[in-house]
Amino acid sequence: MNQLKPRRSGGRAARKALRAAPLTEDVRPVRAGLEGGTYNPLTNADIARIHDAALTALETIGLADAPQSGIEVMTKAGAILGEDGRLRYPRALIEDMLSVAAKDLTLCARDPQHDLDLSGTKVHFGTAGAAVHIADPVTGDYRDSTLQDLYKAACLVDRLDNIHFLQRPIVARDIANNREMDLNTIYACVSGTTKHIGTSISEPDFCADVLELLHMIAGSEDAWRARPFVLNSNCFVVPPMKFATESCETMEAMIRGGMPVLLLSAGQAGATAPAPIAGAIVQAVAECLAGVVYVNAIAPGHPAVFGTWPFVSDLRTGAMSGGSGEQALLTAGCAQMGRFYGLPCGAAAGIADAKLPDMQAGWEQAMSNVMAGLSGLNMVYEAAGMHASLLGFCQQSLVLGDDLLGQALRCIRGIEVNEDTLSLETMAATCVGGPGHYLGSDQTLRLMQTEYIYPETADRSSPKEWEERGKPDLLENATARMQAILAEGSRCRLAADVDQAIRARFNIHLPAG
């Protein structure tokens, strides 16, 4: 082995200059679409049993309350309507629909650089939820959420690199009319970010207006259909094992309108889903497989996300516990089932039961996000900002979540083992006649920005340095970063002529930019 003398490259000043240099997307230490799949709480035998149990449930129990339009399209495909009004699904029908369902799906963003490749085990973190309160960590108070809060959340997500998509995290409670709330929700989101957006639609009658608005934003119906940048998050079932009639009608309209859908089954273990974790997964899988039949009976291969999204109950009280270890296991197990079917899969993680961004919130959000990512979940919803088991949303927590998700993504990326990273040549040059440390080596300087990720808000200084700097507080750092981003304003507001046309057609509540 060559005993090379280590070359120094300017020491601390060089390292600081290297850290300040912008990195291209392909060499960043973390980015959207890193591949997970190394954590598997279910064995192959477990997966087979859950799959078989789900098919048995669909064959023997079936689902109730489908709209007449859904009954017609699914029975034509091969589902069986019983005298009890429940639709049941032969195993062969499930297999046939899985064979035509969209697999390697890409969800579009208004800016193509933010498109989401959902193939394989590629992982993306984003927001979601329908919080009705804003949590203020400075005062400790909760207040009603507003459209302006939603717009600010969109602006923050647009600038936070480790949050890859925006699904509406809060409800604009200052808009009483549901039609106007749905339209203004979309408007506020697209005004704040060019990343992919998800939203729900309150009633089927609103679908035509929603599509008209999206056509105006896209430039035309053809442009919208070519690159649909908004997904319909659709709670098409009301667990246990019933269709949500109006949501199904909305889903049908959105499929015809070219909008991707999230097939969202959100049972609560011990309440609206079986208490065992395995049983909650079985029911969620069965309900979402019924959704796969539904979607592909209407439009084979239509873009749909397999949204097995069961939650956990604290069985002492019956209340939801989104920050529990059981929730983390549920989500990881659901990710494995999505991989088993080869379907793009989304589920919930990152929820805190804690009311504010504190130590409890930190462990709750980190645990489930890391496990979801390592399990290869394509879309990790509710990954940042959510508190009080989805009742509260915190803007500072969204900023802190960007750092947290950066660390989670680094875990997902894993450890690269090759001739360079094994480091034998560098070890020899350092240890034999060298300085005895690696701080100034070419390898250290070359890899410090691509092998390691550095937090924006967290403090890694020594106690002495921390004290000399005035003992900076994590929450203060997050608030400062949040305010700096919001002070710059949105980079994504619509062109003036488009905005004027939209405001002439719809009652837009957000002030003109």
Q: What is the pLDDT of residue 213?
A: 98
Is 50 exceeded by the pLDDT of residue 159?
yes
All domains in the chain, ordered by first residue: 11-30+415-447 (no CATH), 98-413 (3.20.20.480)
pLDDT band at 9 (very low <50, low <70, confident <90, very high): very low
Rounded mean pLDDT of 30-52?
A: 97
Rounded mean pLDDT of 43-50?
A: 98
Provide the angle, in degrees to the nearest 10, between the axes of the packed helices 207-218 and 245-256: 30
Is 50 exceeded by the pLDDT of residue 232?
yes
> Residues 167-188: pLDDT tens digits?
999 999 999 999 999 999 999 9
Verify cis geometry, omega within 30 degrees of 0, for the bond prior to 239.
no
> Residues 475-509: pLDDT tens digits?
999 999 999 999 999 999 999 999 999 999 999 99
Q: Dihedral sign, CA of 477, 481, 482, 483? A: positive
* 496 sits in which H/E element: helix 496-505
Q: The pTM is what?
A: 0.94
Q: How many CB atoms lie within 10 A of CB 83?
A: 5
Q: In this structure, what is the dihedral angle of CA atoms 57, 63, 69, 75, given to the nearest 10 degrees?
A: 30
Contact between 172 and 184 under an 8 Å Cβ cutoff? The reply is yes
Instruction: Identify the weakest region by mean pLDDT among 338-347, 375-384, 440-449.
Output: 440-449
Is 70 exceeded by the pLDDT of residue 378?
yes
Is 80 exceeded by the pLDDT of residue 27?
no
Where does residue 299 rank: exposed (0-12), middle (13-18), buried (19+ CB within 10 A)? middle
- Mean per-residue pLDDT over the chain, rounded: 94
Spatial separation of the C-alpha atoms in residues 138 and 189, rounded to whole Å? 26
pLDDT band at 3 (very low <50, low <70, confident <90, very high): very low
SS (H, E, C) 100-128: HCCCCCEECCCCHHHCEECCCCEEEEECC
Q: What is the pLDDT of residue 2?
A: 41
Q: What is the pLDDT of residue 8?
A: 43
Instruction: Identify the weakest region by mean pLDDT among 1-15, 253-267, 296-310, 434-448.
Output: 1-15
Phi, psi angle pair for 354, to nearest 5°: -60, 145
7 vs 187, more confident: 187
Rounded mean pLDDT of 53-81?
A: 98
pLDDT band at 153 (very low <50, low <70, confident <90, very high): very high
Q: Dihedral sign, CA of 186, 490, 114, 414? A: negative
Q: What is the pLDDT of residue 4?
A: 40
The residue type found at 90 is P
Is 50 exceeded by the pLDDT of residue 1?
no
Ramachandran category for residue 11: left, alpha or beta (phi over 0 → left; psi -120 to 50 → alpha): left
Q: What is the pLDDT of residue 18?
A: 55
pLDDT band at 315 (very low <50, low <70, confident <90, very high): confident
Q: What is the pLDDT of residue 318?
A: 85
Is 60 exceeded by the pLDDT of residue 205?
yes
The residue type found at 298 is I
Question: Distances from the Cα of 15 to the Cαs of 7, 154, 484, in angstroms?
Answer: 14, 34, 26
Question: Distances from the Cα of 477 to the Cαs of 392, 474, 484, in angstroms?
Answer: 21, 5, 11
Q: What is the pLDDT of residue 13?
A: 62
Q: What is the pLDDT of residue 28?
A: 83
> Residues 75-88: pLDDT tens digits?
999 999 999 999 99
pLDDT band at 362 (very low <50, low <70, confident <90, very high): very high
